[in-house]
Amino acid sequence: MIETLAPGRWRALALICAGVVCAMTSWFSATAILPDLVRDWGLGAGAQAWLTNAVQIGFVIGAVAASLVNLPDILALPRLMAVSALIAAAANAVLLLEPGAGAAIVARLATGAALAGVYPPAIKLMATWFTRGRGLALGFLIGALTLGSSMPHLLRALTEGLDWRAVVIGTTAATALAAALFGLGLREGPHGFGRATFDPRQSLAVLRDRGVMLANLGYFGHMWELYAMWAWFLAFATAAQSEITPFPMGSASMLTFAVVASGALGCVLAGALSDRIGRCATTAWMMGLSGVSALMIGFAFDGPGWLLALVALIWGITVVADSAQFSAAVTELARPHLVGTSVTLQLGIGFALTVVAIQIMPWVAGAMGGWRWAFLVLVPGPMIGAGAMLVLRRLPEAAQLAGGRR
């Protein structure tokens, strides 16, 4: 059978990616202004961690709840994404009211829950347009998520010296723009995607599938490192700034933006690479490089500046490059009637792990006397993940990946 290519698929992907970039600016909007909020609100270490972690927890709750009630089947995907982006924009804007730590954490929880109506449906919407080259398309999509996650740091760098509310206003406006792009510019493609429902009775069947669980173990190791690095690199860079003159990129915020944004390039490169040499090989290589970068970044803490920038950018490129390929692997390995359950389980456990990693980082930094060596606690994640993918590569199940490319 000759596979048909959906006309307009690249335009649809471009609009989806543009909307995801705009919507995901609200994910780290509070993290980017955390030093300002610590100064103005007198936040303690626990409150600082929870301002970021609340988004992660909200996302997990939102993703599982959406699957339980079949929201992607009840609403058209563009409409669901538009409404979710509007809710995220409203929740993000609550920070402008200076509600205090407690209410701000609740607002961040709501932001994460709303973004669960953007990111997973965006993957499904993309899949309605692409059957061939899905790895590359997923790479573009996760690259968009990465770029959007970096934008608050760029806004903070560009508005340095101005009130922190400029960052909140900018990210809120961008998220509202995403709602318009989703609601007015998109429709579902011609290739229907299966139902993504979470059936607790089928979870044990997923857990017994060794191919899926090895891919999940790779993803879990990846997630242990990814969001903790994104969440706390600004704190690391701020501490390093006092040790290095001149500081690379001019400021801690600008360096953090460059590091996180560089992951978008990694996502696209890994997407193209995985369709050529295989999902297992690509993810193992990326996690290996990422783990080495996490190990080495402490040695570059006090300079020279070029070395810190080099290690940080390599880490930024590789830490997220393989993210899309784990989702692609599960859709290829899982039994067709369990794809929805498998993907939901992967996302739920993966993002739950990020909560733990993000929460312990300030404690680790305190125990180690500063941020220089704090990222060492992240190294086991990508190492375990790379090992799991290399084991999977040797199994017969790996023949199902990327058209037989392991």
Convert the pLDDT of each residue in 285-295 to its tens digit: 999 999 999 99
The arithmetic mean of pLDDT across residues 243-272, rounded, is: 90
The arithmetic mean of pLDDT across residues 133-158, rounded, is: 87
Domains defined for the chain, CATH in brackets: 10-188 (1.20.1250.20), 199-406 (1.20.1250.20)
Confirm if 87 and 179 have CB atoms less than 8 A apart: no
At residue 81, the pLDDT reads 92
pTM: 0.84
Residue 347 pLDDT class (50, 70, 90 cuts): confident
Residue 337 pLDDT class (50, 70, 90 cuts): low
Q: Is the pLDDT of residue 115 over 80?
A: yes
Give the residue with greater pLDDT, 195 vs 209.
Answer: 209
Give the residue with greater pLDDT, 372 vs 243.
Answer: 372
Q: Is the pLDDT of residue 65 over 60?
A: yes
d(CA 11, CA 6): 11
The arithmetic mean of pLDDT across residues 300-305, rounded, is: 90
Of 33, 129, 115, nearest to 80 (Cα)? 115
Enter the tokens of residue 105: 């954490």
d(CA 368, CA 169): 36
d(CA 396, CA 406): 10
Q: Is the pLDDT of residue 193 over 60?
A: no
